[in-house]
């Protein structure tokens, strides 16, 4: 039953079991479950629960880090299944996690989706200063700058990038994402789009570039 495998996926993350997470991810793919589906309905549910347990003080940083490692294992398996799916290049994107922020699991998923949907993506990594987003976008002739932020304290970095683009009259489109971000936040800082998840990211970028 598909529901059982989603529950198994969530449990592998909650119990910080990387080997189990990789095995469940592969088994789901072998059963014909789409990478995005096992991720959204299984693994992401697990890491969200871990976040809630951490917030309520029932789980501590070392356990959170081990769950993140299990999540990274699952993401590697599902992202590998997305490789090579696209035929045409629709545009160039530079994408990173903003300065002060090391959360990069969501970013890795977004990048895999964008690549699978025909975009060339440069992964700038995490803890990326505002100036580096702009410099790399210029160097690579990017169409879009994507910024991930998971902390309320680091979201402000997205505003810096958007402001520099406007101040310098640059043409890059900007997309923001990450758990604390919303459409309202994107409007507030003048970003061109907010993406709720990886598939929404593809949709919003397609729309921005008229693809
Ligand atoms: Co951190 N952490 N963490 N953490 N962590 C959160 C974000 C938190 C909400 C947990 C909690 O308390 N409930 C909380 C933030 C509170 C706040 O800001 N208000 C928090 C905290 C406090 C911290 C530390 C400060 C803890 C400490 O040290 N005391 C610390 C900060 C470190 C730093 O960055 N400077 C910290 C550290 C860590 C770990 C290193 C242990 C680990 C990250 C490992 C890693 O990424 N390599 C970690 C984790 C795993 C989490 C939670 C549990 C899970 C994040 C995650 O991977 N989600 C998280 C709780 C939560 O988010 N509910 C939490 C799954 C992922 C698939 O979703 O990243 O949202 P997400 O990405 C989605 C969408 O948002 C969207 O698409 C993705 C795919 O669907 N998206 C984009 C994301 N980026 C996009 C960019 C785009 C488009 C869409 O551009 C085009």
Domains of the chain, CATH where assigned: 2-84 (1.10.1240.10), 91-208 (3.40.50.280)
* pLDDT confidence of residue 138: 97
211 CA to centre of ligand 1 in angstroms = 30
* pLDDT confidence of residue 86: 67
**Cβ-contact 104, 124 below 8 angstroms:** no
Nearest CA to ligand 1 atom 63: 48
* pLDDT confidence of residue 77: 95
Nearest CA to ligand 1 atom 68: 106
For the chain, how are helix, strand and coil distributed in percent, rounded to 5? 60, 15, 25
* pLDDT confidence of residue 200: 95
From the CB of 157, is ligand 1 less than 6 Å away? no
Query: Cβ contacts of residue 151 below 8 Å, gap of 6+?
Result: 100, 101, 103, 180
Nearest CA to ligand 1 atom 88: 177
Q: DSSP label at 179?
A: T
150 CA to centre of ligand 1 in angstroms = 5
Rg (CA), the chain: 17
123 CA to centre of ligand 1 in angstroms = 17
* pLDDT confidence of residue 82: 85
From the CB of 29, is ligand 1 less than 6 Å away? no
**CA distance linking residue 72 with residue 10, whole number of Å:** 13
Of 37, 44, 51, the residue with max ligand 1 atoms within 8 A of its CB, to mutate for a pocket test, comes to: 51
Where do we find the tokens 């923001």?
176
The sign of the CA dihedral 54, 58, 61, 63 is negative
97 CA to centre of ligand 1 in angstroms = 10
From the CB of 46, is ligand 1 less than 6 Å away? no
pLDDT means per 10 residues, the chain with 211 residues, are 88 96 97 93 94 94 94 93 78 98 94 89 97 97 98 98 97 97 98 96 96 90
Residue 20's SS3 state is: helix
**CA distance linking residue 48 with residue 41, whole number of Å:** 11
Q: How crowded is the C-beta side of 58, counted as CA atoms within 13 Å?
A: 7
**Cβ-contact 8, 45 below 8 angstroms:** no
């Amino acid at each position: 039953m598909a529901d059982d495998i989603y529950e198994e996926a969530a449990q592998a993350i909650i119990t910080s079991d990387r080997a189990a997470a990789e095995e469940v991810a592969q088994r789901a793919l072998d059963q014909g479950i789409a990478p995005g589906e096992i991720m959204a309905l299984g693994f992401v549910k697990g890491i969200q629960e871990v976040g809630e347990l951490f917030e309520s003080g029932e789980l501590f940083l070392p356990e959170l880090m081990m769950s993140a490692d299990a999540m990274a294992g699952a993401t590697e398996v599902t992202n590998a299944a997305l490789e090579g799916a696209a035929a045409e290049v629709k545009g160039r994107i530079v994408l990173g996690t903003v300065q002060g922020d090391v959360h990069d699991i969501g970013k890795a998923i977004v990048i895999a989706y964008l690549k699978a949907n025909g975009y060339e993506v440069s992964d700038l990594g995490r803890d990326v200063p505002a100036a580096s987003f702009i410099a790399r976008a210029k160097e690579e002739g990017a169409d879009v700058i994507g910024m991930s932020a998971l902390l309320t304290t680091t979201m402000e970095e997205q505003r810096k990038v958007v402001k520099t683009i406007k101040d310098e009259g640059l043409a890059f489109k900007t997309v923001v994402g990450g758990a604390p971000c919303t459409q309202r936040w994107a409007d507030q800082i003048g970003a061109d789009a907010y993406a709720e998840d990886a598939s929404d990211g593809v949709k919003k970028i397609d729309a921005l570039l008229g693809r």
